[in-house]
């Protein structure tokens, strides 16, 4: 009944407008919305207007927690990085010449060991990401939540990236260094470049820990982004009533 009255008033107003007023009414403003858009958005049961602030915040936090948990769980498994062609960590660009030279002289096995160990380090480090994500998610404001809900396909992932990259990098670096040592990455890396330096006058010594940290974080945010897409676009991925309500609007 309320919706019927609302629509009746809406159409009466339209008929009372002059042509010039109608043109302005349908014209979109700087936010990309017209007068019609703003009125329709307020219709009962339409868009995020039917959700309370608490529901939006709780729903977005739930989505982020689910996405980050699924993403980090997947990447922290054995071969989580190594067997994913999109995020697999390869030799850094400045070392491509090194890799080619070593393979040409029969040292491909050492190169393969170095690549495997970098990915194992990233998989090991991914285990420590979830708590850092959760801390950031807990700080989400009402404004943040509505911005994510009305934002693009990767709005939640971009929010998380903005809020956690600095702290994740700081926290990841020692974990990566420890992981690299644990899987003998440093040994393989040193073997690769020691071998290469015997054949070349151009010495190469990039910062392995910084490189793997950067690539590990890129891989995690990529995976979290994939999880966000599932929740936004696939109803099956919305595993709770709250997620279904928030993302159905």
Burial annotation 87-109 (CB, 10 A radius, 16+ → b, else e): bbbebbeebeebbeebeeeebee
pLDDT tens digits for 71-96? 999 999 999 999 999 999 998 777 77
Q: Token pair of 231, please?
A: 């929740």
Domain spans of the chain?
1-44, 52-247
Q: What's the CA gap between 181 and 175, in Å, rounded?
A: 10
As a whole number, mean pLDDT of residues 112-131 equals: 89
pLDDT greater than 50 at residue 22: no
The count of other CB atoms within 10 Å of the CB of residue 129 is: 25
Q: What's the CA gap between 231 and 172, in Å, rounded?
A: 27
For the ranges 44-53, 74-83, 142-151, 197-206, the lowest mean pLDDT is seen at: 44-53
**pLDDT score for 10:** 37
For residue 113, give the 3-state DSSP assignment. helix
pLDDT tens digits for 8-20? 333 333 444 444 4
Residue for token digits 């159905």? 248
Average pLDDT over the chain, rounded to an integer: 76
Judge contact between 55 and 241, C-beta under 8 A: no
For the entire predicted model, the pTM comes to 0.69
Q: How far is CA 73 from the centre of its chain?
A: 14
**pLDDT level of residue 183 (50, 70, 90 thresholds):** confident
Residue of higher predicted confidence among 142 and 15: 142
């Amino acid at each position: 009944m309320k919706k019927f009255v609302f629509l009746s008033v809406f159409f009466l107003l339209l008929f009372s407008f002059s042509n010039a007023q109608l043109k302005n009414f349908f014209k979109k403003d700087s936010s990309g919305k017209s007068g019609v858009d703003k009125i329709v958005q307020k219709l009962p049961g339409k868009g995020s207007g039917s959700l309370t602030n608490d529901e939006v915040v709780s729903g977005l936090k739930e989505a982020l927690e689910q996405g980050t948990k699924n993403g980090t769980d997947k990447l922290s498994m054995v071969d989580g990085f190594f067997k994913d062609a999109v995020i697999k960590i390869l030799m850094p660009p400045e070392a491509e010449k090194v890799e080619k030279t070593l393979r040409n002289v029969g040292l491909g096995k050492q190169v393969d060991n170095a690549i495997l160990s970098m990915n194992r380090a990233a998989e090991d480090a991914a285990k420590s990401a979830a708590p850092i994500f959760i801390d950031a998610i807990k700080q989400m404001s009402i404004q943040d939540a509505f911005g994510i809900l009305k934002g693009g396909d990767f709005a939640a992932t971009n929010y998380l990236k903005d809020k956690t990259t600095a702290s994740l990098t700081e926290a990841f670096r020692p974990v990566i260094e420890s992981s690299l040592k644990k899987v003998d990455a440093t040994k393989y890396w040193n073997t690769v470049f020691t071998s290469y330096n015997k054949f070349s006058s151009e010495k190469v010594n990039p910062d392995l820990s910084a490189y793997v940290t950067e690539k590990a974080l890129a891989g995690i945010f990529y995976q979290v982004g994939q999880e966000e897409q599932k929740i936004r676009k696939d109803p099956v991925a919305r595993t709770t009533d709250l997620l279904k309500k928030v993302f159905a609007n």
